[in-house]
Amino acid sequence: MKLYSNRFAPSPRRLRIFLAEKGLEIPTVEVDLAGNENLDPAFLAINPLGELPALVLDDGRVITESIAACRYLEALHPEPNLFGRDADERAVVDQWTYRVMFRLYEPVRQAFRNTHRFWADRIHQVPEFGILARDAALAELKALDTELAGREFLAGARYTFADITALCAIDFGKPSGIRVTGELPNLARWHAVVQARPAVKAE
- Mask for 109-138, x = binds a copy of itself (CB under 8 A): -----x---------x-x-xx--x------
CB of 149 to a copy of itself, least distance (A): 13
CB 69 within 8 A of CB 55: yes
CB 171 within 8 A of CB 192: no
Number of residues engaging a copy of itself in binding (CB under 8 A): 33
**Helix, strand or coil, per DSSP, at residue 2:** strand
Cα R_g (the chain), whole angstroms: 17
Determine the Cα–Cα distance for residues 73 and 8; give it in Å rounded to an integer. Answer: 22
Q: What is the DSSP letter of 101?
A: I
- Measured from the CB atom, is 8 or 98 closer to a copy of itself? 98
- Measured from the CB atom, is 5 or 64 closer to a copy of itself? 64
**Interface with a copy of itself (CB under 8 A):** 48-49, 61, 63-65, 67-69, 71-72, 75-76, 87-88, 90-92, 94-95, 98-99, 101-103, 106, 114, 124, 126, 128-129, 132, 143
